[in-house]
Amino acid sequence: MPSIFDYFKAKEIGAYVSTKTENSIPYLGEQLFPAKKQLGLDLSWIKGANGLPVQLKNAAFDTKATLRDRKGFSKVETEMPFFREAMRIGEKDRQELNKVLAANNTDYVLPIINNIYDDITRLVESSRVSAEIMRMQLLSSGEISIVNNGLKYTYDYKLPAELTETLLTTAKWTDFDNSTPLEDMKNAMDTVETSSGERPVNALMTRGTFNYLLQNAQVKTLVAPALAAAKVLLTEPQVKQAIENYLGLNLVVYTKKFKNLEGVSENYFPDDVVSYLPSGNLGNTYFGTTPEESDLMSGATKAEVQIINTGIALTTIKEEHPVNVNTVVSGIFLPSFETIENVFIQKVNG
């Protein structure tokens, strides 16, 4: 009779997880910050202080070139956070398998095994959730704050103060009659272009924030002047198309949610914030080397390790007494943000 260890191996579980539909649908942050692998815990990147080119100095013939210092750039270094969680497949699970194995019918065995595999899939998905939370915190505030399991990590990416804004009083987008979101958008785009030479092309926001635009008098005037004073709502395609035509700005409405550690549903990206972004990649999501990958992949231990999703280590560890298989999901990851000085973060209902 096959043992419990024959059914739960890192390689087979990793292959199963990789084929699950939920694991293959990319988060927005995974597209903006593509995954990259590196060794160790340390993350460093070169952050440009300004995207504008600097005028070249004049020089006389037959003289040595003037050396230019590199004060326009700064190296950012930090240590990436470590995430790890496990599940146990124990003797009680084994007894359930024994019952169906006695019937000598794999049709009964596979659903039980797949249910356990699905639990592990959700553990892997939680690692993707953690990475997406960090990326969206970064895009909405310029900082990352991680507080769980008694640990606290804070990362300040030094977003320049002039690239942030909080709208007050009648400028708030919740004031549908007096606020002027079209000017707010244009001013944010102009500020970034003046600072870096690159104009934002995307504006990231939630459904709740976008709904302010549907009711705004100025936006109604842009879409259809006859509707400006009417008590009607515009449609999403109308508003998106009108603003793209007027400002060259693509509105990205991000509605994806997650459950926090208390089981409460939250937006990845917060309400009442708009982030103006350049085209293309904004940085990378760097994956470091976990202890499981560094020390347990040699095959000289009771542990088996499979790397999935670029840098997530899925480890199965055999225990003879009590007879268990521990499945550990671990990761070391953190986004870089090389383009942070090409973005603008606007709190529209501060």
CATH number at residue 10: 3.15.30.10
Q: Is residue 68 part of a domain?
A: no
Checking if the pLDDT of 41 tops 60, the result is yes
Provide the percentage of residues in the chain whose pLDDT is more than 90. Answer: 41
What average pLDDT does this structure show over 123-148?
Answer: 89
What average pLDDT does this structure show over 207-220?
Answer: 95
For CA atoms 260, 347, 201, 135, give the dihedral sign: negative
Whether residue 41 is found in the same domain as residue 118: yes
User: Torsion over CA of 271, 266, 143 and 240, rounded to 10 degrees?
Assistant: -40
Whether residue 81 is found in the same domain as residue 22: yes
Confidence of residue 263 (pLDDT cuts 50, 70, 90): confident
- Confirm if 153 and 82 have CB atoms less than 8 A apart: no
For CA atoms 288, 291, 294, 296, give the dihedral sign: negative
DSSP 227-286: GTTSS-PPPHHHHHHHHHHHH--EEEE---EEE-TTS-EEESSPTTEEEEE-SS----EE
Return the axis-axis angle of helices 10-19 and 106-141, rounded to nearest 10°: 70
**Residue that wins the pLDDT comparison between 96 and 130:** 130
The CA-based angle 105-19-17, given to 5 degrees, is 80
Tokens describing residue 116: 């356990």
**205 CB-near residues (< 8 Å, 6+ apart):** 251, 252, 253, 254, 269, 273, 274, 275
What average pLDDT does this structure show over 162-167?
Answer: 97
Among 2-6, 103-107, 237-241, the range with the most confident prediction by mean pLDDT is 237-241
Whether residue 97 is found in the same domain as residue 108: yes
Q: Is residue 37 part of a domain?
A: yes
**How much is the pLDDT for 90?**
62
Q: Which residue has the tokens 């043992």?
A: 3
What's the CATH code of the domain at 177?
Answer: 3.30.1930.10
**How much is the pLDDT for 31?**
95
User: What does the radius of gyration of the chain's CA atoms come to, in whole angstroms?
Assistant: 26
**Residue that wins the pLDDT comparison between 24 and 313:** 313
Whether residue 221 is found in the same domain as residue 244: yes
Confidence of residue 196 (pLDDT cuts 50, 70, 90): very high
Whether residue 172 is found in the same domain as residue 114: no
- Confirm if 299 and 292 have CB atoms less than 8 A apart: no
In the DSSP assignment, the letter for residue 27 is P
- Confirm if 196 and 50 have CB atoms less than 8 A apart: yes
Checking if the pLDDT of 149 tops 90, the result is no
**How much is the pLDDT for 255?**
94
Checking if the pLDDT of 43 tops 80, the result is no
Enclosing domain of residue 189: 161-280+340-347
Q: Is residue 71 part of a domain?
A: no
Whether residue 254 is found in the same domain as residue 309: no
In whole angstroms, what is the distance from residue 13 CA to residue 114 CA? Answer: 10
Half-sphere exposure of 200 (CA within 13 A, CB side): 30
| CA distance readout (Å), 224 to 93, 184, 243 | 63, 20, 12
Whether residue 43 is found in the same domain as residue 125: yes
Q: Is residue 306 part of a domain?
A: yes
Whether residue 197 is found in the same domain as residue 329: no
Q: Is residue 57 part of a domain?
A: no
What average pLDDT does this structure show over 175-185?
Answer: 97
Whether residue 185 is found in the same domain as residue 151: no
**How much is the pLDDT for 342?**
95
Checking if the pLDDT of 195 tops 80, the result is yes
Whether residue 216 is found in the same domain as residue 238: yes
Q: Is residue 64 part of a domain?
A: no
Of the candidates 10, 5, 6, the one whose C-alpha atom is nearest the C-alpha of residue 296 is: 10
**Residue that wins the pLDDT comparison between 1 and 205:** 205
In whole angstroms, what is the distance from residue 234 CA to residue 49 CA? Answer: 41
Averaged confidence pLDDT in the chain: 81
What average pLDDT does this structure show over 212-220?
Answer: 93
Q: Is residue 177 part of a domain?
A: yes
Q: Is residue 62 part of a domain?
A: no
Checking if the pLDDT of 246 tops 80, the result is yes
- At 259, the amino acid letter reads K
Whether residue 135 is found in the same domain as residue 185: no
Distance of CA 347 to the CA centre of its chain: 20
Checking if the pLDDT of 52 tops 60, the result is no
What average pLDDT does this structure show over 128-133?
Answer: 90
Tally of domains in the chain: 2
Confidence of residue 38 (pLDDT cuts 50, 70, 90): confident
Whether residue 189 is found in the same domain as residue 265: yes
Confidence of residue 68 (pLDDT cuts 50, 70, 90): very low
